[in-house]
Amino acid sequence: MLLAFSCKKKKIEEPEAPPTLQHGMLVLNEGLFQQNNATLGWYNFSDNAYTGNFFEQKTNRSLGDTGNDMKRYGGKIYVIVNVSSTLEILDASTGNSISQISMVANGTPKQPRYITFNGAKAYITCYDGFVDVLDTASLSITNRIPVGANPEGLTISNGKLFVANSGGLNFPNVDSTVSVIDLGSLQEITRITVGKNPGSIQADQNGDVYVITRGNYSSIPSRMHRINASTNTLAQSFTFDASGITAFNSSFLISYHDFSSGDNRIALFDTNTETITNPQYIPTSGIQTLYGIQYSTITNKIYCLDAKNYTVTGQVHVFSSNGIFETSYNVGLNPTSILIYE
Per-residue pLDDT at 2:
42
Percent of the chain with pLDDT over 90: 94
Per-residue pLDDT at 12:
64
Q: Which residues contact 240 (CB under 8 A, 6 or more apart)?
A: 223, 224, 254, 267, 276
Length of the chain: 342
Q: β-pairing, 130-135 with 121-126?
A: antiparallel
HSE-up (13 A, CA, CB side) for residue 126: 27
pLDDT tens across the length of the chain (342 residues)? 344 444 444 556 899 999 999 999 999 999 999 999 999 999 999 999 999 999 999 999 999 999 999 999 999 999 999 999 999 999 999 999 999 999 999 999 999 999 999 999 999 999 999 999 999 999 999 999 999 999 999 999 999 999 999 999 999 999 999 999 999 999 999 999 999 999 999 999 999 999 999 999 889 999 999 999 999 999 999 999 999 999 999 999 999 998 888 899 999 999 999 999 999 999 999 999 999 999 999 999 999 999 999 999 999 999 999 999 999 999 999 999 999 999
Q: Residue 133: which of 109, 107, 158, 103 has the closest Cα? A: 103
HSE-up (13 A, CA, CB side) for residue 117: 13
> ∠ CA(307), CA(155), CA(242), 5° rounding?
45
Summarize pLDDT for 11-68 with one digit per residue, the tens. 568 999 999 999 999 999 999 999 999 999 999 999 999 999 999 999 999 999 999 9
Rg of the Cα trace of the chain?
20
Q: CA 314 to CA 100: how far, in whole Å?
A: 26
Summarize pLDDT for 198-215 with one digit per residue, the tens. 999 999 999 999 999 999
Q: With residue 5 as reference, give the H or E element that holds it.
A: helix 2-7
Q: Please, what's the b/e burial string for 122-131 (b: 16 or more CB within 10 A of its CB; e: otherwise)?
A: bbbbbbbbbb
Q: Residue 255: which of 312, 302, 195, 187 has the closest Cα? A: 302
Q: Is 301 helix (H, G, I), strand (E, B) or coil?
A: strand
Q: CA 325 to CA 319: how far, in whole Å?
A: 4
